[in-house]
Structure 1
Amino acid sequence: MIAAIIIAVVAAGIIARLAVLNSRLTSELERARVEVTRYESQPAVVAHEIRTPLSLIEASAELLMGESPGPLNETQASFVSTIFDNATQAIGIAENSLVQRRLKDGAALRLDLVDIRDVVGDAAQSLRRTTDIPILVDVRGGILPLYADEQLIRQLVWNLVNNAIRHSEGEDGVRVRVNQAEDGGALLEVTDHGNGMDSADLERFFTPFATGSSRRPGSGIGMLVSQEIVAAHGGKIMVDTRPDVGTTIVVLLPLGNPGGE
């Protein structure tokens, strides 16, 4: 009888200690989860915070480029152009970070009627201010309405054209073609006339922070984000490249569902 009581008391003590340890473990796991979530979200938070000052720098540089405050000499104009170009690239990196976080979180697409022709035109106009490389836009057919997330589609087109600029050389520049796909969706082709890619470059084309024979450095996430945007819309992205000739990125975007599916 006494032995049974002793065993019961000891068992109760062990159970109590286990309960305390379990409570502490649960608390530590929750604290760790919160910390992981905080650190995972930091890139998006930083990207959001730096977007406004970068936009102000870009706008100020653009104002100076227009010589509204007064004429610039050649050296000053070159410095201002460099500031504007790098601010634009940094904003693109910030936008890609925000888009990637949004897609990783599984946020629903904000579907609306989007005319891909307008998006391409806006991207070309914006990027022409950052480069001397010609950007030629070839739009065929009538209106190409897609039920898509306009913010994501704009980032997709910006990434593709910006990537082509980075790899283009000579007077041929970048060519952007927009046409209607056989299924009624949109067919988007962005061609550069650069060095093309070998098999090794092609294999890591969508790998973050991998760079090939680029004319200038990039963030390394632009093409990965583009791939994720296309996948989120149920589309396809393909790469056709030839060494010493150039690269064409082909994107097929379905019409989408006006019901929001």
Structure 2
Amino acid sequence: MKIATWNVNSLKVRLPHVLDWLAANKPDALCLQELKMEDKAFPVAELEAAGYRAAFIGQKTYNGVAILSPKPMDAVVRNIPGFDDEQKRIIAATIDGVRVICGYFPNGQAVGSDKFEYKLRWLSALTEWVEEEMRQYPKLVLTGDFNIAPEAADAHPDWKDEIHVSEPERAAFRALTALGLIDAFRLFEQPERSFSWWDYRMMAFRRNFGLRIDHILVSPALQADCSSCTVDKAPRKLERPSDHAPVVLELAG
């Protein structure tokens, strides 16, 4: 089973990239973030023509998440149950017995800001809900744009901004892994300075001045099935790319 996550930073702009990537990689689940479109604009027909059905939740201009799969999706949940939030950031579905949760985690803007406090509240609510989901679904994947670089190795050494690397954010990431979730990327030997996001400015991609903020966490029941987890930089090299690259998990069987 192949599961991938990709912040496309506008599905309208990046739809050709997504369709090409689906055709080349044939994932069983592709989790998208930052759709930046209302549900009525979602390209259902184009994706169905490519062989993919979709579960999605969006809003105008900001946020929005989707799961694409060629297979049936069951027990779809949109947004964190019990957490009052106008922002569309979570979608979950069960595919072939695996619970897939796709999230676009809040950016936080700046440490100490109102948006940062919202980020921490959101993360706390997510953690409580994921703990419940893990009790119901032993085989679970939590993936998406976390907007957190959990360790020093996940940020370029010259990264000076506190956001994405602050201790409260990293503590929230540790709270998720404390549920038993495992960072699939770190199950395998990886090149130094392996990142998934690079700013559009200052030739950041060319300089590899980036962060690893797009993650795939797996439950213990899936750990032994993990055969690889990689960052696919190829889409970041395209014309008018997203500032994120896909992260791809291969599960045996």
TM-score by length of 1: 0.25
Q: Whose helix fraction is larger, Structure 1's or Structure 2's?
A: 1
Higher relative contact order structure (alpha carbons within 8 Å, sequence separation ≥ 6): 2
Q: Whose strand fraction is larger, Structure 1's or Structure 2's?
A: 2
Q: Which entry has the higher C-alpha Rg, 1 or 2?
A: 1
TM-score by length of 2: 0.25
